[in-house]
Chain A
Amino acid sequence: AQKVTQAQTEISVVEKEDVTLDCVYETRDTTYYLFWYKQPPSGELVFLIRRNSFDEQNEISGRYSWNFQKSTSSFNFTITASQVVDSAVYFCALISSGSARQLTFGSGTQLTVLP
């Protein structure tokens, strides 16, 4: 069985603050993939990043960065200098080699960036 936990249900920050969204996962497989998706108020799901279990290098894309730590089973997402347009629900998800194609989602974190 696999599981993704996003303990932060809601976070509010003021524009230009940095914010980190936590994601903790569970899987028995050694080969797995982690994802982050963004769901803005309009409702669509936007793919942000995919990482495999053999690549623990942190990744940066503009104001977004991801910290993958296998030792703590975490894949945290940081937004630097947040903007109002970052307001959305963010989902962490996991798929493993033995999961029969089931992409398991966390329950999501609602991020509100206040002007």
Chain B
Amino acid sequence: IAGITQAPTSQILAAGRRMTLRCTQDMRHNAMYWYRQDLGLGLRLIHYSNTAGTTGKGEVPDGYSVSRANTDDFPLTLASAVPSQTSVYFCASSATVLGTDTQYFGPGTRLTVL
């Protein structure tokens, strides 16, 4: 069982380009999340999804969009990347829709926007 996989592992991107970060889980978890990690700030929630077909905004959603077409996949899209979106991005999942379950994290994607 892989748990959560993220792709790519790292990426360097020119400002203004569109980028989709992929996240797949094989645990049949209902809820999924995207966080960004910046030095000294811990992790901050970008978007979440309670179940397939639903999404919600987190603390820092501007400049990002998500979709949840099925249980396993939760891609994060940057429509027009800016340098302030340089960060490490983590995808996470939790078992139920309650929102208070333990969240398990993927290995992360390191994104640099120049």
A interface residues (Cβ-Cβ under 8 A, vs B): 4, 33, 35, 37, 43-45, 47, 50, 91, 93, 95-97, 99-103, 105-108
Contact A43/B108 with A97-B100, A101-B50, A102-B59 known, Cβ cut-off 8 Å? yes
Residue numbers of B with Cβ under 8 A of A are: 31, 33, 40-45, 48, 50, 56, 58-59, 88, 90, 92, 99-100, 102-108
Q: Which of A43, A103, A106 contacts B103 (CB 8 A)?
A: A103
In whole Å, how far is B7's beta carbon from the nearest beta carbon of chain A? 15
**Which chain B residues border A103 with CB–CB below 8 Å?**
33, 43, 45, 103
C-alpha gap A97/B101 in the complex (Å)? 11
Most buried by A among B40, B59, B90, B102: B102
Given A45-B90, A100-B56, A101-B31, A107–B100 Cβ distance below 8 Å?
A: no
Q: For the complex, give the distance between the alpha carbons of A106 and B58 in Å.
A: 16
The answer on a CB contact under 8 Å between B42 and A105 is: yes
Cross-chain contact of A91 among B43, B56, B58 (Cβ < 8 A): B43
A-B contact count (CB 8 A): 54
Shortest CB distance B58–A (Å): 6
**8 Å CB contact of B99 from A37, A91, A95, A106:** A95
Residue of B nearest to A46 (CB): B105
- B107 proximity list for chain A (CB < 8 A): 43-44
Note all chain B residues with C-beta closer than 8 A to A4: 42
Q: Which residues of B contact A37 (CB under 8 A)?
A: 105
User: Which residues in A have their C-beta under 8 angstroms from that of B108?
Assistant: 43-45
In the complex, chain B residues whose CB is within 8 Å of the CB of A93: 43
In the assembled complex, the CB of B75 is this many whole angstroms from the nearest CB of chain A, namely 19
The distance from the CB of A105 to the nearest CB of chain B, in whole angstroms, is 4
| From A4, A96, A101, A107, residue with most partner B Cβ within 10 Å | A101
CB distance from B9 to the nearest CB of A (A): 10
